[in-house]
Amino acid sequence: MSDLAAVHHWPPSEIEALDWWELLAYRRDLPRVLKLTGRIN
């Protein structure tokens, strides 16, 4: 989970191509993660 937290705190100026792919993967998985943590009913 520490990587996901790190994604949220990246300064935009430091985001590189691979970081964008990680960010997109995180956003794609966010609903699943929230469901697993019980935040989605």
Which residues span the domain enclosing 11?
2-36
Task: Count the residues in the chain.
Answer: 41
Residue 9 lies in a domain: yes
Residue 8 lies in a domain: yes
Give residue 13's pLDDT. Answer: 57
Handedness of CA 16, 18, 19, 24 (dihedral sign): positive
Average pLDDT over residues 13-21: 66
Q: Cα(6)–Cα(27) distance, rounded to whole angstroms?
A: 13
Residue 17 lies in a domain: yes
Average pLDDT over residues 10-33: 73
Residue 3 pLDDT grade (very low, low, confident, very high; cuts 50, 70, 90): low
Tens of pLDDT, residues 27-38? 888 888 788 888
Whether the per-residue pLDDT at 5 is higher than 60: the answer is no
Number of domains in the chain: 1
| Contact assessment for residue 10 and residue 19, using Cβ atoms and an 8 Å cutoff | yes
Q: Is the pTM of this model over 0.75?
A: no
- Percent of the chain past pLDDT 90, that is, above it, reads 0
Q: Cα(31)–Cα(35) distance, rounded to whole angstroms?
A: 6
Handedness of CA 8, 5, 3, 41 (dihedral sign): negative
